[in-house]
Amino acid sequence: MVKLEDLPLLADERLQGHRLINSKFPPIDLFDDVANAEDFAALHQLQTLTNPRLQNELGRLELIPLAQIPFGISGCSYAVAPFTHVNPAGSRFSDGSFGVLYLADHPDTALAEVRYHQQAYWSKVPALKYERFVFRNLSVSFSEKGFRDALVLAATDALYHPADYGAARSLGAAAKRAGCPGLRYRSVRRPGNHCWALLTPGRISAVVQAAPVEMIWNGGIISVNRITAVPGEPT
């Protein structure tokens, strides 16, 4: 099994990554309303007195040090959400005990990754006949400084098994323990392309929205479309 220290370190290259998130998950305004950790702590304390739902909206703040939150950037809430609203079922590089923000090198790579997981999830719901899912399309500016590069591993490595995440989760846990900010790895759902697994939002400098995407379900995902936004309407 590959060891974290055997993977090359990446330099400080400024990059653009792509991510799709279900539009049913609203942004958390409080992260975008403040410029630093001190302001956040004060506003959080004030709002918890008047907004009993705030804790559910913010998620598990104890999972991420405030010093790692990039307050003041555009789209800060999108950068933080995967680390405070963690999927207990886990993901490729996490067993569900910590969050990971996944980015793709191209919008089509992000689409291929999300489409696969949506197909797998909704196929387990036998009563679902027809449905429309809308996803926010996010463009994320970040640096991969200090990331470990798993692109050096062959596509046949256990890290890239399409269904068994055991090797990938072991590497993810080792990276988390070591304070590694992220991993670059091969896209399993779109061979020839790659993705990043960010273990902290601290390397992110901006998150902006692009045209949303819809997936139509009818016994399976039968079509995918990019939605042209109507001027003046939120996406």
Q: In this predicted structure, what is the pLDDT of residue 51? A: 62
CA-CA distances (angstroms) from residue 18 to 80, 111, 155, 194? 15, 9, 22, 11
Q: In this predicted structure, what is the pLDDT of residue 222? A: 95
Strands 130-143 and 14-22, sheet pairing? antiparallel
Q: In this predicted structure, what is the pLDDT of residue 43? A: 63
d(CA 227, CA 6): 43
Structure token pair of residue 224: 């995918």
| 173-196 residue pLDDT tens | 999 999 999 999 999 999 999 999
| 16-48 residue pLDDT tens | 999 999 988 766 676 777 767 777 766 656 565
Query: 0.75 exceeded by the pTM?
Result: yes
Q: In this predicted structure, what is the pLDDT of residue 14? A: 94
Give the SS3 label for residue 137.
strand
Q: In this predicted structure, what is the pLDDT of residue 7? A: 98
Q: In this predicted structure, what is the pLDDT of residue 61? A: 83
Q: In this predicted structure, what is the pLDDT of residue 235? A: 47
Question: HSE on the CB side for 95, CA within 13 Å?
Answer: 10
Which residue from 140, 147, 233, 221 is spatially nearest to 185, judged by alpha carbons? 147
d(CA 188, CA 195): 9
Residues of the chain with pLDDT under 70: 26-28, 30, 35, 41-58, 229-235
